[in-house]
Amino acid sequence: MKSILTNIFLSVFLFPLYLHAIQVSINNLKPRLDVNGVIIDAHDGSIQQFEKNGLYYMHAMQYGLCEEPPNYGCDGAGMPSKCGFQMDHNISIWSSPNLTSGSWSYVGNSINVTDRPAGVVFRPHLVYNPKTKLYVLFWNYMRWNQPSLYAVGIAETPNGPFKLVNPALNVSRGASGGDFDVFVDDDGTGYIVYSQNYYMSIEQLTPDYYYSTGKSYMFDEYFVEAPIFLKKNNIYYVLFGWCCCYCMQGSGVLVHTSNNPMGPYTLQTDGDLACVAKSNTISTSSNALPTPNQGCEFHNINTTSIARSQQNYIIKVTNSSGYTTYVWTGDRWQQAPDGIKGHEPQFWTPLTFDENGKIGKMNWIDEFTLDV
């Protein structure tokens, strides 16, 4: 009788959970495709699920069908006509039910080019403000021979369209800003981590996230960019790497932890998660060249990224049992299968954490299974 009751319990109460537990395959050897089988033109942006059992949204750069520079990724950086530095790149929105290649649907542009401040746009990031009930989109834009700035837009849904509310976020470390990330804590307080003059800083945002409060913390490392800010088990993590201007060799991942979002932070002691000896990395079919003195080579000329990537974003993937996998993503600059910048791929891999919250070293992985 006990066995019968147990079977009934499993069938009635647990079977619905199994219906929602989906294992998907993530492949790093093939380009990501949309629902029409076309390579997704989406780079250096945020990927997240805002509602339980809802869609994953990606707000990312759409670089278009221009050709990659033949040598170094940032060749022609000072010329607006060059690939990767054009004034009309879109901040595109994509959605997917399960993150897999072939499942992505194009939602639209987050904001019209004519409705945003003029400049070359990089690294859009979206967060939800639980206090205002609005979605807040941030992006960095570069103006020729002028300081780079951060803009802020809002919308009622992640689908947009977004309305510009602040063309120049007032970060305290000067007017010029580089790569950044925005983090929302459990109490709804927002923070921005950003690079400026090759150093990394954190600032607390106002309750609406439109401005900085001026409260600031600065890290020690020099010549760094591409930060990620997250929290796991009451530990705050800030990850960033050496500057890598579309560099083919990729960059490293330095991990800093704290018990407070505003620091002080401690550098994880076992070194870089991604920079390894060049002999240990995968080969690439790209004809591009590693950019001298950038990425891993800035720290050690004999190293390169195990993932041949520059850090992009960490996706929090929570399954039906409540377990969260932290999926690290990086952009593989100058490695498009057809030489088109908009087709440059990404590398995704689950992060590992030990019992003390220490993040394990990264390895190349062709394919992995993810429980969504």
List the CATH number of the domain containing 307.
2.115.10.20
84-117 pLDDT, tens digit per residue, is 999 999 999 999 999 999 999 999 999 999 999 9
Tokens 């994509």, residue located: 94
Q: Enumerate residues 6+ apart whose C-beta is below 8 A from 336.
A: 68, 286, 342, 343, 344, 345
* Share of residues in the chain with pLDDT > 70 (%): 91
What's the confidence (pLDDT) of residue 18?
43
Is pLDDT above 50 for 9? no
Q: Give the chain's mean pLDDT.
A: 91
Tell me the two tokens of residue 119.
């400049």
Mean pLDDT of the region 121-126: 97
- Note the pLDDT of residue 173: 83
Domain tally, the chain: 1
Q: For position 175, what pLDDT does the model report?
A: 61
User: Any idea which of 68-72, 222-226, 354-358 has the lowest mean pLDDT?
Assistant: 68-72
Residue ranges of alpha helices (H) inside the chain are: 2-9, 15-20, 296-299
Q: Decide which of 10 and 319 is more confident.
A: 319
3 within domain boundaries: no
Residue at 30 is within a domain: yes
- Asked if residue 312 belongs to a domain, the reply is yes
Q: Structural domain of residue 74, as residue ranges?
A: 21-371
Whether 8 is in a domain gets the answer: no
Mean pLDDT of 226-244: 98
Q: Is the pLDDT of residue 41 over 80?
A: yes
Q: Say what the pLDDT of residue 145 is.
A: 82
Can you list the alpha helix ranges (DSSP code H) found in 70-157?
none
Is 52 a residue whose pLDDT tops 70? no
What span, in angstroms and rounded, lies between the C-alpha atoms of 165 and 173?
21
* 149-158: average pLDDT: 97
Give me Rg for the CA atoms of the chain. Answer: 20
Residue 207 lies in a domain: yes
pLDDT given for residue 285 in this prediction: 67
Task: Please check whether residue 7 lies inside any domain of the structure.
Answer: no
- The stretch 242-255 carries a mean pLDDT of 96
Q: In this prediction, what percent of the chain has a pLDDT beyond 90?
A: 83
Residue 13 within any structural domain of the chain:
no
1 belongs to a structural domain: no
DSSP H or E run through 4: helix 2-9
Residue 17 has pLDDT above 60, yes or no: no
Report residue 133 as tokens.
């009930």
pLDDT for 287-325, tens place per residue? 789 999 999 999 899 999 999 999 999 999 999 899 999
Q: How confident is the model at residue 79 (pLDDT cuts 50, 70, 90)?
A: low
**Per-residue pLDDT, 8:** 41
